[in-house]
Chains A and B, each alone.
Chain A
Amino acid sequence: MDLLTFLRYQWDRAGAWLLVAAGAALLVAGWLGASRQLVPAGQIPYVISGGLGGVFLLGLAAVLWLSADLRDEWRQLQEIAAKLDADPAGERGTSPSDIPERSGRNGSAPAVAEGSVPPARP
């Protein structure tokens, strides 16, 4: 899988990593800036911009990552629902191997069975 395909399917996780990097950089920058100020009046703006701003970005990163997990789970459940609807119980025995595997945590695009819900993300 090339990088563009990966970014198209995993834009939220890639964005989460970017936000983690930006938040960490902001925290470090805030700490460096505040440590160079001699008076508290000069440090508080760094606390707000660097410290709280970094926390804000890290929170957004967590939301993006957890949302990606929830979206993957939602899509896989829809695939299961589509399989059950197309091939209901009693007409055949569904083995556990027919159930779509959970994927996405390792950075790979989720496996999509033919004829099932497409992997398109909004």
Chain B
Amino acid sequence: MVAVPDRPAIPWRTVDLIVLYAANVIGAVLLLAAWLAASGSVSPDGQVPWLNLALAGIIVAGSGNVVWLLAGRRRVGTLRRSLLPALLDAVAGPPEQAAGSADGSLVATADMTRYHDPACLLVADKPVVPAAEAEHRADGRRPCDVCLVERAGGR
């Protein structure tokens, strides 16, 4: 189960929004001030500092934009990573029961002295009959040393 806390509707916090607005307002003000000051100057030498100021405004605004986008991207990535394990579990469905469990899927023929997992190569193409492990044991059979090695004692 994935806990779903109350997440905001957008992947940004208020402080990110403030930084974005502040950076763009400062950038726009610098740009406007530089344009007004440069328009009032008649020599290129006097306009160069204002051109630099305008460039500084662009850099300030651009930095705020980058911070905004990176913050959103980071939070989306964090949420995606937190959902991934649960999503994989959900797509895979409930885990299958282990092979050879006591659900009647262990097999043997009437003449065998050992019972096997249905996928065991030793019973391939043989007329086996599935039964519960207790039934096999009651008939005197032991677990296969190949496919049921844990039950057979780990040899």
Contact = CB atoms under 8 A, between A and B. Distances in A.
Contacts of A80: 83, 87
A107 interface: no
A60 interface: yes
B52 to A, nearest CB: 10
A89 B68 contact: no
Interface string A65-91: 011001101110110111011011111
Contacts, number: 131
B10 interface: yes
Interface stretch (B37-45, B99-107, B110-118, B133-141): B37-45
B124 interface: no
Contacts of A48: 31, 34-35, 38, 50-51, 54
A55 B43 contact: no
Contact of A84 (B1, B20, B72, B93): B1
Interface residues of B, number: 50
A63 B80 contact: no
Given A41-B44, A48-B38, A62-B65, A85 B4 contact: yes
Contacts of B24: 60
Interface residues of A, number: 43
B61 interface: yes
B73 interface: yes
B90 A88 contact: yes
B14 to A, nearest CB: 11
Contacts of A85: 1-4
A52 B43 CA distance: 20
B1 A93 contact: no
8 tightest A-B contacts by CB? Answer: A93-B93, A89-B89, A94-B90, A88-B1, A70-B72, A89-B90, A74-B11, A45-B39
Interface of B: 1-4, 7, 9-11, 20, 24, 27-28, 31, 34-35, 38-39, 41-44, 47-48, 50-51, 54-55, 57-58, 61-62, 65, 68-69, 72-73, 75-76, 79-80, 83, 86-87, 89-95
Given A45-B38, A93-B90, 10 more contacts: A44-B50, A44-B51, A47-B51, A56-B28, A67-B69, A67-B72, A70-B11, A78-B79, A84-B86, A87-B90
